[in-house]
Amino acid sequence: GAVVSQHPSWVICKSGTSVKIECRSLDFQATTMFWYRQFPKQSLMLMATSNEGSKATYEQGVEKDKFLINHASLTLSTLTVTSAHPEDSSFYICSARDRGDSYEQYFGPGTRLTVT
Amino acid sequence: GQNIDQPTEMTATEGAIVQINCTYQTSGFNGLFWYQQHAGEAPTFLSYNVLDGLEEKGRFSSFLSRSKGYSYLLLKELQMKDSASYLCAVYSGYSTLTFGKGTMLLVSP
């Protein structure tokens, strides 16, 4: 149980285009989902927290107009990187918290984004 | 602010025991996680400590001292597949996880 999927697993896009990454909880309902970014040999940095049906809460330094998050249902959250630039190339990981769970987050397999 | 420190790299040999330390200074503390992460993959859950003391789970054990802001992950009977990055993460606030930079463990034959 507690499986989280991400799609796509990797994507290459051109500078200036937008990319959408999906995060799904497959066998549980996730009231809260989290988006992280990880640069090579660095730790996971929380970008934003999204709650179903409400606006996402962004961490300091993360541009909400550039990283659009939509948590439209209890099993799906999407992250759209708008007007992507090479410096946005990174490993994006989502996690989800079961509505019945108090603390544990279940991580997706990650999406490798490369902007050329 | 949040500050979590772990060694950057460690090496050990197959069959040995290794201890990975983590110290933290955070505003708020609800518990501490340890995750394992292989290159290019998402973190996988290893342990969660809320109370002081040692939690043992097979070859892996995790220790927490809240008063000292200190935790360690103990790996016994090391195997080659244990070569990975080990992330210490503090759970504070409402579902907020703050990760350390991770300790890259290399297990050699």
pLDDT tens-digit readout, B77-96: 999 999 999 999 998 876 67
Q: Which residues of A touch B31 (CB under 8 A)?
A: 103
Which residues have CB under 8 Å from A62's CB, separation 6+? A47, A48
Q: Which residue in B has a C-alpha nearest to residue A51's C-alpha? A: B95
Q: CA–CA separation, A71 vs A50, rounded Å?
A: 6
Q: Tell me how many residue pairs between chain A and chain B have CB atoms under 8 A apart.
A: 42
CB < 8 Å to A97, chain B: 95
Q: Which of A96, A94, A86, A11 is nearest to A52 (CA)?
A: A96
Residue B99: other Cβ atoms inside 10 A:
23
Phi, psi of A65 (to 5 degrees): -80, -15
Closest CA to A103 of A32, A27, A7, A37: A32
The confidence score (pLDDT) of residue A102 equals: 63
Size (chain B), residues: 109
Between residues A41 and A7, which one has the greater pLDDT? A7
Pairing verdict, β B84-92 and B103-108 = antiparallel
Identify residue A73 by its one-letter amino acid code: S
Query: Cα-atom radius of gyration of chain B, to the nearest Å?
Result: 13
CA distance readout (Å), B81 to A38, A104, B47, B57: 22, 25, 18, 17
What does the angle CA A24 – CA A27 – CA A32 come to, to the nearest 5 degrees? 50
**Residue type at B63?**
F
Asked if A91 and A111 count as a contact pair (C-beta separation under 8 A), the reply is yes
Answer yes or no: is pLDDT of B19 > 80.
yes
Q: pLDDT of B44-72, one tens digit each? A: 999 999 999 999 989 999 999 999 999 99
Q: With pLDDT > 90 as the criterion, what percentage of chain B qualifies?
A: 78
CB–CB of A110 and B40 under 8 A?
yes
Predicted local confidence at residue A40, as pLDDT: 85
Residue pair A56/A69 in contact (Cβ under 8 Å)? The answer is yes
Q: Identify all chain A residues contacting B102, using CB atoms and an 8 Å cutoff.
A: 43
Distance CA B26, CA B5 (A): 11
CB atoms within 10 A of CB A32: 20
Which among A103, A111, A113 is the top mutation candidate for probing chain B, defined by the most B β-carbons within 10 Å of its own β-carbon?
A: A103
pLDDT tens-digit profile of A9-68? 999 999 999 999 999 999 888 888 999 999 988 889 999 999 888 889 999 999 999 999
| Residue B39 confidence class, pLDDT cut points 50, 70, 90 | confident
Residue pair B33/B48 in contact by the 8 Å Cβ criterion? yes
